[in-house]
Amino acid sequence: MLIDTYGRVATDLRVSLTDKCNLRCTYCMPEEGLQWLSKSELLSDDEIVRLIRIAVTQLGITEIRFTGGEPLLRPGLVGIVERCAQLEPRPKMSLTTNGIGLKRTAAALKAAGLDRVNVSLDTLRPDVFKTLTRRDRHKDVIEGLEAARDAGLTPVKVNTVLMPGLNDDEAPDLLAWAVENDYELRFIEQMPLDAQHGWKRDGMITAGDILQSLRTRFELTEEGSGERGSAPAERWIVDGGPHRVGVIASVTRPFCSACDRTRLTADGQVRTCLFATEETDLRAALRANAEDSQDGSDEAIARIWKLAMWGKKAGSGLDDPTFLQPDRPMSAIGG
């Protein structure tokens, strides 16, 4: 079991499969991209599956979320999902993606055992999409969403970040579109995880701003607190139901006390929090003479992981005036 000194138990594992991405979102990375990890630094498919197996069979993990970078860029993705679906007990598995390439892969991922997807889409306007992502791929994302829904990767959740002066007027339109297409929309406050370290608290679109905008067109009824559990999104019933909209207010309404997540980067580092400034290396243990080595055994790796999570801090520190943004950007950490 992955427990920390505050009594929180991690049952949800976020696995970054690559640091690469085929978009250049302004709130994530610079236009020229980043220096990607070398192949030797990345975990192999076998290493990823082994760590997930240890997490599921020895550490109590019940949910796996594959992330990136952009996980659809990982050549072995379908095979990794298929192998993890065979674990006992079988974990629930989801994927966070920008949706480019999902039209081509949705059916195969469903057949391999993936349960559902989260797709990032910040705007309904192709010109704004191009400005935000520096790529002209809006149509591909829309088609990817449709393919995911048709393949049964449901509920399809759409993640949206609102940026001042770009798409901050779109919240009601996005919700109307999501309801029409049977997607669950979730707005995410912009977080200090950009490679450029350009994030500023002043001027960001807050959860309060988003809800105020939505209520100009919709009746929102807050779900009971018991419905949320450890989920990061607060949810509201839209116009009496059945559709819901969520807001992930990591900055203004932190939910650290209920966190049940542990994170694995594409190069094999355990992160106890998105905003952690420290990591614990599992890759070195994995490569220490494999299974029969005392240092590289499944049990040894599980002990390292447990120790890392035991040291998890009480909160993200975002509300602390001395908060320091992590050196590694979102693309390296995994969402």
DSSP 42: S
Q: Do β-strands 244-248 and 280-281 pair in parallel, antiparallel, or remain unpaired?
A: unpaired
* Contact predicate 130/138, CB 8 Å: yes
Q: How far apart are CA 189 and CA 268, in angstroms?
A: 27
> According to the annotation, is 135 in a ligand binding site?
no
> According to the annotation, is 84 in a ligand binding site?
no
Strand partners, 270: 264, 280
> According to the annotation, is 65 in a ligand binding site?
yes
CA distances from 247 to 159, 195, 204 (A): 9, 24, 14
Q: Do β-strands 244-248 and 9-10 pair in parallel, antiparallel, or remain unpaired?
A: unpaired
Rounded-to-10 torsion of CA 37, 305, 59, 246: -60
> According to the annotation, is 28 in a ligand binding site?
yes
> According to the annotation, is 273 in a ligand binding site?
yes
- Positive or negative, the CA dihedral 317, 320, 326, 330 is positive
- CA count, 13 A, side-chain hemisphere, 19: 23
> According to the annotation, is 157 in a ligand binding site?
yes
> According to the annotation, is 191 in a ligand binding site?
yes
Q: Which helix (H) or strand (E) holds 110?
A: helix 102-112
Long-range contacts of 196-200 (CB under 8 A, 24+ apart): 196/29, 196/30, 197/325, 199/27, 199/325
> According to the annotation, is 96 in a ligand binding site?
yes
> According to the annotation, is 263 in a ligand binding site?
yes
* Contact predicate 245/186, CB 8 Å: yes
> According to the annotation, is 6 in a ligand binding site?
no
Q: How far apart are CA 69 and CA 33, in angstroms?
A: 11
> According to the annotation, is 259 in a ligand binding site?
yes
> According to the annotation, is 328 in a ligand binding site?
no
Residue 57, SS3 per DSSP = helix
User: Which residues are known binding-site members for [4Fe-4S] cluster?
Assistant: 21, 25, 28, 256, 259, 273
User: Which residues are known binding-site members for GTP?
Assistant: 14, 65, 96, 157, 261-263
User: Which residues are known binding-site members for S-adenosyl-L-methionine?
Assistant: 27, 69, 120, 191
User: Which residues are known binding-site members?
Assistant: 14, 21, 25, 27-28, 65, 69, 96, 120, 157, 191, 256, 259, 261-263, 273
